[in-house]
Amino acid sequence: MCGSQIAHSDWGTLGVFSLKRLWKQSAREADSATRQPPNADEIRADRLLLAGLRLGIRETLDFLTTTAPSFEQFEEWVLAKNGGNIEPERVQRLNAALRGYGGFALESILGEPVLSRDDLAFWDEKGYVVVKNAVSVAACSAAIDAIFSYAGISRDEPDSWYHKNIWIPLAHHPALWENRNSPRIHTAFAQIWGRRDLWIDVDVCGVNPPLRPGYAFQGTPLHWDMTLAPPIRFGTQAILYLTETAADHGAFSCVVGCHRWLGQWLKQITAGENPREIARKALQATPIAGGAGDLVIWHQALPHAATPNLGPFPRVVQYLNMFPSEFEVDSTWI
């Protein structure tokens, strides 16, 4: 069980199991003399903690490493990020998951099936699926307004679209939570995972402006966000299109079907060669178009990348993902 080897007697004033361990771990990692890589149980627990406490990984690590807070200060920060209140039911559910207990209340909001049999067959074969109308057009517009306001972007002033980075570190706006709470999103993930004890990540947003003279594309090249250590483990990732996104308008791209042959492909890589570098040169990604409000979910084994925006308006997205209380982790990074 994910909490069995990481217990700590002091749960703090918030009563959250393992939160002090995370705080202590950050202090150890800041000290090169005592730094130790986290094991699989700790990686799993950290992800559950952040999702259950509705914290982004970047903001949490930044706060811990740059501020070096006391544990009391860390708890105050966590509480503030939750608007001053964490419901007892959420703490109870999180503690149950961290300690490996079953039978706790489900957070996922489930309705009628969202993905058809054909959709699920497509997922199995291609490794991705587009959830149409995952959120409404009105919800997209509200999220765009929030993102643009935060980033100082005006829809009508193209010069304001261009930033040094396409990632916008906005995570806690109500419009973004409205999208994360979409029943269609929760249901689609539940169908793909085949279970309902799901948690949602708190992630940031992205604005990919059109190419123009003097502006170089800021997106990432083809990559994986997982270890390539065998065996290949199941996991999901997703991106919510907030704007109409044609294939050449900065669409997400992936190597379709790679999850089916990645393990064998990796065996063919000569010892000493970097499979990530080889993939960038040898594998071909396909851009995945979608409408405003469509969600693209993909198997984490698909290498993927952002693409240049050749359209007339910024491509705006919200990153999110869902995962169950129990999932496979490999702490070895390859």
Q: Provide the 3-class DSSP secondary structure of residue 205.
A: strand
Predicted confidence (pLDDT) per residue in 277-299, tens digit: 999 999 999 999 999 999 999 99
Predicted confidence (pLDDT) per residue in 15-40, tens digit: 999 999 999 988 766 555 555 677 88
Tell me which residue of 107, 145, 111 sits closest to 131, measured CA to CA.
Answer: 111
Average pLDDT over residues 219-229: 94
**Identity (one letter) of the amino acid at 282?**
A
Contact 314, 207 (CB under 8 A): yes
CA quadruple 2, 239, 104, 50: dihedral positive or negative? positive
8-state DSSP, 225: S
* Residue 266 parent element (H or E): helix 258-267
Tell me which residue of 15, 155, 136 sits closest to 79, measured CA to CA.
Answer: 15
Average pLDDT over residues 220-235: 94
Contact 246, 252 (CB under 8 A): no
Whole-number average pLDDT of the chain:
91
Contact 6, 30 (CB under 8 A): no
Predicted confidence (pLDDT) per residue in 119-164, tens digit: 999 999 999 999 999 999 999 999 999 999 999 999 999 999 997 7
Q: Delineate the domains of the chain, giving CATH numbers in brackets.
A: 19-98 (no CATH), 117-324 (2.60.120.620)
> CA distances (Å), 203 to each of 110, 154, 172, 190, 310, in order?
22, 23, 9, 19, 26
Catalogue the E-assigned strands of the chain.
128-131, 167-168, 198-200, 205-208, 236-241, 253-254, 286-287, 295-299, 304-305, 315-320, 322-324
Note the pLDDT of residue 28.
Answer: 63
Percentage of the residues of the chain whose pLDDT score is greater than 70? 91
Stated pTM of the model: 0.92
Long-range CB contacts (within 8 A, 24+) of 277-281 = 279/222, 279/223, 279/224, 279/255, 279/303, 280/221, 280/222, 280/223
